[in-house]
Amino acid sequence: MRAKLTIDRGNTAIKAAAWASDGSLLDTFKGDESLPAGALVEAMEKRVLGEGEHFSAISWCTVVASEHADDSSSLEGRSPRIVELTSSTPMPLTIAYRTPGTLGADRVAAALGAHHLTGGSRPLLVSDIGTAVTYDYVDGLCYVGGNIAPGIDLRLRALAAFTDALPAVSVQGGDLPLWGGTTAEAMRSGAVRGIAAELAYYHAAAGEGALAVLTGGSAELLVNENILTFDYIHDPYLVHKGLYSIIKDEN
């Protein structure tokens, strides 16, 4: 099987996706942040491939600089073709960010994934809603730039940590009314609906005809609450689809 593998190391987890030769998704795996990238490849080989087989190509990205050297060395020899996605990797998008060396590779991957999904026919607002939430603008073949803000959980934790009276509140398992009737509801709704409002602002700023493409661990919550008022695509595998797009033509 000429399968390919994509790996995304985030702040709290490392995730992998295996792809068939026709581009269909075979399997996914999410590991603890302490898992080396090479060990993740080995686990996916056992889940997807036959004995003695290896992935024909691997693409990967990381936002955790402290783990970069260990991940890179642990991936050596795991595949005939290993590509790390950075802002300087050959890709269909031009990067207009003024400091491309500081641009998170996951943001680039999400932009590539959104472009791959839509073909670049419309301006794109690409938002990855996780520990942090990113709002990135892609116009045709150009990644123009974007902004970074605290994610839902980070907002709630900051409120509890830096105020005297506000409690520790989880976004899970609670109501999200438009107007909170308790302090916990007010904090939870403020965090979630605040991001919804930011998304609406950036979607409007992206211009008429822009399409929002959402991903990240907290994106599903916004979708399920049905509080977004504009056109969007929700794809939990957006970063991996972007990573796959740069190796899809590898033999």
Q: Are residues 167 and 232 in the same domain?
A: yes
Residue 144 lies in a domain: yes
Q: Are residues 74 and 105 in the same domain?
A: no
Domain finish residue from 44, 64, 84? 84
- The pLDDT tens digits for 192-230 are 999 999 999 999 999 999 999 999 999 999 999 999 999
8, 22, 70, 106: the active-site residue: 106
Per-residue pLDDT of the chain (251 residues; tens, 9 = 90+): 689 999 999 888 899 999 999 999 999 999 988 899 999 999 999 999 988 899 999 999 999 888 899 999 999 999 999 999 998 899 999 999 999 999 999 999 999 999 999 998 899 999 999 999 999 999 999 999 999 999 999 999 999 999 999 999 999 878 899 999 999 999 999 999 999 999 999 999 999 999 999 999 999 999 999 999 998 999 999 999 999 999 998 76
Q: Are residues 27 and 145 in the same domain?
A: no
Domain finish residue from 84, 108, 141? 84
Q: Are residues 46 and 150 in the same domain?
A: no
Residue 71 lies in a domain: yes
Residue 248 lies in a domain: no
- The pLDDT tens digits for 34-65 are 899 999 999 999 999 988 899 999 999 999 88
Q: Are residues 21 and 73 in the same domain?
A: yes
Residue 169 lies in a domain: yes
User: CB burial class (10 A; 0-12, 13-18, 19+) of residue 199?
Assistant: buried
Q: Are residues 37 and 76 in the same domain?
A: yes
Residue 45 lies in a domain: yes
Q: How many separate domains does the chain show?
A: 2
106 as an active site residue: the answer is yes
Residue 249 lies in a domain: no
Q: Are residues 55 and 158 in the same domain?
A: no
Range of the domain at 48: 4-84
Residue 40 lies in a domain: yes
Which contacts (CB < 8 Å, 24+ apart) does range 184-193 have? Answer: 187/156, 187/159, 188/156, 190/155, 191/152, 191/155, 191/156, 191/159, 192/152, 192/221, 192/222, 192/225, 192/227, 193/227
Q: Are residues 104 and 201 in the same domain?
A: yes
Residue 251 lies in a domain: no
Q: Are 34 and 47 in contact (CB under 8 A)?
A: no
Domain finish residue from 84, 110, 130? 84
pTM greater than 0.75: yes
Q: Are residues 161 and 77 in the same domain?
A: no
CATH of the domain at 120: 3.30.420.40
Q: Are residues 165 and 123 in the same domain?
A: yes
